[in-house]
Amino acid sequence: MRRISILGSTGSVGVSTLNLIEETLMPGVDYTIEALCAGRNAALLAEQALKFRPAVAVIADEAQWPLFQDLMRGSGIEIACGIDAVETAAARQADWVMAAIVGIAGLKPVWAAAGTGATIALANKESLVCCGRALIERAEAAGGRILPVDSEHNAIFQVFETTQRDHIRRLILTASGGPFRGRTREDLKTVTREQALKHPNWSMGAKITIDSATLANKGLELIEAAYLFDMPASQIDVLVHPQSVVHSLVEYTDGSTLAQMGPADMRVPISYCLGWPDRHPWKAPAFDLRAIGTLTFDAPDEEAFPMLRLAREALMIGGLMPVVFNAANEVMVQAFLAGRIGFLDIPEAVAHAMKKAESRSMALTVNLGHDIGQILLTDAETRAELAGRCGAFDVSQAATA
Ligand SMILES: NC(=O)c1ccc[n+]([C@@H]2O[C@H](COP(=O)([O-])OP(=O)(O)OC[C@H]3O[C@@H](n4cnc5c(N)ncnc54)[C@H](OP(=O)(O)O)[C@@H]3O)[C@@H](O)[C@H]2O)c1
């Protein structure tokens, strides 16, 4: 029987994870839930807690505490509130942790969970982008490991032969291209929040959907892949594949290229992480290649979508530059979602923040050891740097969102 914690249980990935668990595992026989944590959605968290009976349920947003207490009254379930309480819950001993908080808010909880020796199914790519290999090393030193939930990295993980890593020539991440594939930079000047939120293939939370529209998501994934698979930027390519059928590929030196395919449904990679090292059967949707018919692949347009190039630069500079890239992107996406700025202000501000970070000759080499303080400081400095570009959006809101 496994003890399972879900960080970000009310989000898109969190809900899919609970659905899979409910569909395929027996409570009290196969699993118990140790912790459920959420940001603001007290009603859904309470509903989940009453159904799954975790040892503890935590709501991060203190404004939701009175409502959450009301909803949980008489349940006998331990409850708590606040960002620190989320971190404390993440540090509780569990066997399997789904890390599905969005953004930098996931960093401290993921870092805490990594110290427990649990197997961490990592959806919160932002924490890995910021911590780099230190997060993986922390998990492994504690006797645990990080399993990638992102469909692209999960695909690579499935076809990456660790014993043949000297024979791996390239990793190829596929990208749907998002809702604005084929648009020019000129076209992108006037696109709206609503248009950007309409992803053609995937149903996801708002932040990652905007990241998909700017290609920042692919940029974050490029950095994520470099750290997860310990590969240099020069050996990671991106191909635009609008059908989202081939989730990523690994090219070997003997001319073989292995790919993982499947429906565009996050329950596929989540189930792989739930079952690993075995397969976890569930009622997966039919996958009919005849109905799909044609698969196409193209180079990304880095002129119209510069976020991919900026992410690659951040990775190559290394140290804290991925933290700057991530923080700048996150705060500008929040401002875009709040209707304060235009779509193209996002890459423009990220490029500005990266330039400033370089010109401040910020200590860009970092030896994290067991301290994430430097990351949080750089995150805060980057947000402050962009305060004037966010259209009066409160940059501190993004840090706790
Ligand atoms: N969705 C996908 O298909 C997908 C695919 C690959 C990777 N990912 C990655 O997975 C992560 C989650 O994505 P998502 O699409 O599931 O996002 P989402 O739908 O926006 O959900 C985010 C979750 O984080 C919670 N949260 C926010 N701040 C928190 C805090 N301070 N403490 C505790 N919980 C907090 C939210 O709670 P409330 O809703 O209650 O506020 C919610 O449960 C992101 O890093 C994303 O890049 C997602």
Q: Give the per-residue pLDDT at 401.
A: 41
Which own/partner pairs from 385-390 qualify as long-range (CB within 8 Å, at least 24 positions apart)? 385/328, 385/352, 385/353, 385/356, 386/328, 386/331, 386/332, 386/349, 386/352, 386/353, 389/332, 389/341, 389/345, 389/349, 389/352, 390/331, 390/332, 390/335, 390/340, 390/341
Q: 297 and 239 in contact (C-beta within 8 Å)?
A: yes
- Ligand 1, atom 10, residue with closest C-alpha: 123
Shared domain check, 138 and 169: no
Q: What is the CATH number of the domain that holds 18?
A: 3.40.50.720
| Co-location of 322 and 295 in the same domain | no
Q: Which atom of ligand 1 is nearest to the CA of 42?
A: 40
CB 60 less than 6 A from any atom of ligand 1: yes
Q: Is 10 in the pocket of ligand 1 (CB under 6 A)?
A: yes
Residue 284 within any structural domain of the chain: no
Query: Ligand 1: distance of its center to the CA of 199 in Å?
Result: 16
Compute the CA torsion angle 220, 224, 230, 235 (nearest 10 deg). -40
Predicted TM-score (pTM) of the model is 0.97
Q: Which residues of the chain have pLDDT under 50?
A: 400-401
Our mutation pick for probing the ligand 1 site, out of 6, 7, 12, 397, counting the most ligand atoms within 8 A of Cβ, is: 12
Same domain, 113 and 68: yes
Question: Look-up: residue for tokens 């590969």?
Answer: 231
Instruction: For residue 168, tell me if it sits in a domain.
Output: yes
Probe target for ligand 1 pocket from 48, 208, 223, 337, with the most ligand atoms within 8 Å of CB: 208
Measured in angstroms, how far is the CA atom of residue 290 from the centroid of ligand 1?
34
Query: Rounded to the nearest whole angstrom, what is the distance from the C-alpha of residue 240 to the centroid of ligand 1?
Result: 24
Residue 400, pLDDT score: 43
Quick one: 168 and 60 in the same domain? no
Residue 273 within a domain: no
pLDDT of residue 158: 98
Q: Tell me how far the alpha carbon of residue 204 lies from the centroid of ligand 1, in angstroms.
A: 9
Classify residue 280: in a domain, yes or no: no
Looking at the structure, do residues 299 and 369 belong to the same domain, yes or no? Answer: no
324 and 304 in a common domain: no
Residue 140 is assigned to a structural domain of this protein: yes
- Please check whether residues 20 and 137 belong to one and the same domain: yes
Give residue 69's domain range: 2-149
What's residue 365's pLDDT? 57
| 102 in any annotated domain | yes
The total number of structural domains that make up the chain: 3
Q: Is residue 188 part of a domain?
A: yes
Q: Decide if 269 is inside a domain.
A: no
- Do residues 230 and 168 both lie within one domain? yes
Residues 141, 9 share a domain: yes
Q: What is the pLDDT of residue 188?
A: 97
Q: Is the CB of 121 under 6 A from ligand 1?
A: no
Q: What is the DSSP letter of 39?
A: S
Please work out whether the CB of residue 14 comes within 6 Å of at least one atom of ligand 1: yes
Q: Using the 3D structure, point to which of 81, 115, 149 is the last residue of a domain.
A: 149
| Contact status, residue 8 vs residue 101, Cβ threshold 8 Å | yes
Q: Are residues 113 and 8 in the same domain?
A: yes
Nearest protein Cα to ligand 1, atom 36 = 39
Q: Of 110, 129, 149, at which residue does a domain stop?
A: 149
